[in-house]
Amino acid sequence: MTDVLGIVLKRLGLGVLTLLVISILIFFAVELLPGDIAQAVLGQGATEENLKAMREQLGLNEPAVWRYLQWLAGAIQGDFGSSLISQKPVTETIAPRFANTLFLASYAAVIAVPVAIILGVIVALLRESIFDRVANVTTLTSISSPEFFLGYILILYLAVKNPWFPAIASLSDDMTFLELLNRTFLPALTMVLVVVAHMMRMTRASIINLLASPYIEMARLKGTPAWKVIVKHALPNAWAPIINVVALNLAYLITGVVLVEVVFVYPGIGQLLVDSVTKRDFPVVQACCLIFAATFILLNLAADVGAILTNPRLRHPK
């Protein structure tokens, strides 16, 4: 087991290192601004005094490396400085919205993951049949559609023409959980549609790949019944690819959420990011980007670690 532990630790270390590099990237990208932040925020017409005051306030007179270290130290403790526009601490703005986004993403994931994997396995078992072809065309269409296209179609048919669900996913504190589920149903469904399509295709591909391996043929040639071939011979080896598929798609959910939140006016971190980009509120943009990147890296890391832990060759070293 020590081997596996070593590999996992190495992978974790690599993840942390990547995150560090990305934090550098995110911080110093802002330094590439023509002029500096103060200039960018106050615009061309700003007076020297105003610029000077702002630089003082943001600590721009200190060297960039020092500011980066301060920012990083703050970020690790959950402090991302304060917004340039509202002057409120960034963390205060982001925290509830991040929770909302996580809720929406998990809502979508809870529906999408089981559905997609089951459908993917079914389609893989029925490969080359008419259902497989129909599924192929449908999923391809779904993947190719931008999220806002699907979102507006759903609004048109499930909110406007048939008023079953609210078109705008606004939240309030005094909602029951059921009400919350109802309010956020359409954005969740939009993401489910896209993610299920992606996941189905990936699950199908990895299962077909698996079923083509010689040991599956061997199992069939030993007279093992079809269900047992799947359960006993395919499944133990399918974990790694399935975990991979799930993690990659959850990571995809995290990005897809930005557009969906805008379509449904959902108060999540994605919308906040878009607003802040428009207003050029850099501390918020940096914080959002770091959070998105961290989530993304974490999920990829989970996929790798999952694959390592379920690999029989690594679990039982020579």
Partner 1 sequence: MNYFVIGYYALLIGASCLAAYYSSRSAFLLLFSLTLVSFIVGIVGGESALWTITVCAGVLALCAGTAYAFREFLVIVLPVEASKAIKTAPLTATFGLFVIMTYAIAGVFAPIIAPHGEAEIIAGAFEPPNDEMLLGADQLGRDLFSRLVFGARNTVGIALLATILAFVLGALMGLIAATRGGWFDQLMGRVVDVIMSVPSLIFALLLLSIFGTNVVVLIIIIAIIYSPRVFRLTRAVAGNVVVMDYIEAARLRGEGLWYLIRREILPNSTAPLIAEFGLEFCFVFLLVAGLSFLGLGIQPPTADWGSMVRENATLISFGEITPLFPAGAIALLTVAVNFVVDWMLFRSSGLKG
Partner 2 sequence: MAAKEKDVLLKIRDLRIEGYSDEKWLEIVHGVDLTLHRGEVMGLIGESGAGKSTIGLAAMGFARDGCRISAGSIEFDGMELTTTSEADRRALRGSRIAYVAQSAAASFNPAHKIIDQHTEAPIHYRIRKRLEAQEDAMELYERLRLPNPQDIGFRYPHQVSGGQLQRAMTAMAMACRPDLIIFDEPTTALDVTTQIEVLAAIRDIVEQFNTAAIYITHDLAVVAQMADTIKVLLKGNEVEEADTETMLSNPKEDYTKSLWAVRSFKRAQKPRPGGDATPVVSVQNVSASYGDTPVLHDVSFDIYAGMTVAVVGESGSGKSTTARCITGLLPPTSGKIVMNGVEMPPSYKSRTKEQLRQAQMIYQMADTALNPKVRICDIIGRPAEFYMGLKGGKLKSRVDELLDLIELEPSKYYSRYPPELSGGQKQRIGIARALAAEPNFIICDEVTSALDQLVAEGILKLLDRLQKELNLAYMFITHDLATVRSIADEVLVMKQGEVVEQGAKEEMFTPPHHPYTDLLLSSVPEMDPNWLTTVLEERGVDNIGEAAAT
Q: Which residues of this protein are in contact with partner 1, per CB under 8 A? A: 18, 21-22, 25-26, 29-30, 32-33, 129-131, 134, 136-137, 140-141, 143-149, 152-153, 155-156, 160-161, 167, 251, 254-255, 258-259, 262-263, 273-274, 276-278, 280, 282, 285-286, 288-289, 292-293, 296-297, 300
> Taking CB under 8 A as the rule, does residue 213 contact partner 2?
yes
Which one of partner 1, partner 2, none is in contact with 88 (Cβ closer than 5 to 8 A by kind)? none
Of the pair 98, 292, the CB lying nearest partner 1 is at: 292
Joined tokens for residue 32: 């590439």
Minimum distance, C-beta of residue 156 to partner 1, in the bound complex (Å) = 6
Measured CA to CA, the distance from residue 202 to residue 208 in angstroms comes to: 10
Minimum distance, C-beta of residue 210 to partner 2, in the bound complex (Å) = 11
Contact predicate 141/150, CB 8 Å: no
Joined tokens for residue 228: 């047992």
Minimum distance, C-beta of residue 65 to partner 2, in the bound complex (Å) = 37
* DSSP letter (8 states) at residue 92: H
Number of helices (H) and strands (E), helices first, in the chain? 15, 0
Minimum distance, C-beta of residue 223 to partner 2, in the bound complex (Å) = 4
Which one of partner 1, partner 2, none is in contact with 30 (Cβ closer than 5 to 8 A by kind)? partner 1
Amino acid identity at 240: A
Pick the binder of partner 2 from 34, 63, 163, 214 (CB under 8 A): 214
> Taking CB under 8 A as the rule, does residue 161 contact partner 2?
no
Minimum distance, C-beta of residue 9 to partner 2, in the bound complex (Å) = 22
Which one of partner 1, partner 2, none is in contact with 161 (Cβ closer than 5 to 8 A by kind)? partner 1
Of the pair 123, 301, the CB lying nearest partner 2 is at: 123
Measured CA to CA, the distance from residue 280 to residue 273 in angstroms comes to: 10
Minimum distance, C-beta of residue 161 to partner 1, in the bound complex (Å) = 6
- The footprint of partner 2 on this chain (CB under 8 A) covers a number of residues equal to 22
Q: Which residues are CB-neighbours of 288 under 8 A, at least 6 positions away?
A: 94, 269, 272, 273, 276
> Taking CB under 8 A as the rule, does residue 178 contact partner 2?
no
Find, among 191, 192, 199, 197, the residue nearest to 261 by Cα.
191
Q: Which residues are CB-neighbours of 292 under 8 A, at least 6 positions away?
A: 254, 255, 269, 273
Contact predicate 256/192, CB 8 Å: no
Measured CA to CA, the distance from residue 313 to residue 1 in angstroms comes to: 11
Of the pair 47, 278, the CB lying nearest partner 1 is at: 278
Collapse the DSSP code of 238 into the 3-class scheme (helix H, G, I; strand E, B; otherwise coil) and give the result: helix
> Taking CB under 8 A as the rule, does residue 225 contact partner 2?
yes
From 76-84, 85-93, 139-147, 219-227, span contacting partner 2 (CB under 8 A): 219-227
DSSP character string of 175-212: --HHHHHHHTHHHHHHHHHHHHHHHHHHHHHHHHHHHT
User: Which residues in this chain contact partner 2 in the complex, by CB under 8 A?
Assistant: 212-215, 217-225, 228, 232-233, 236-237, 312-313, 316, 318
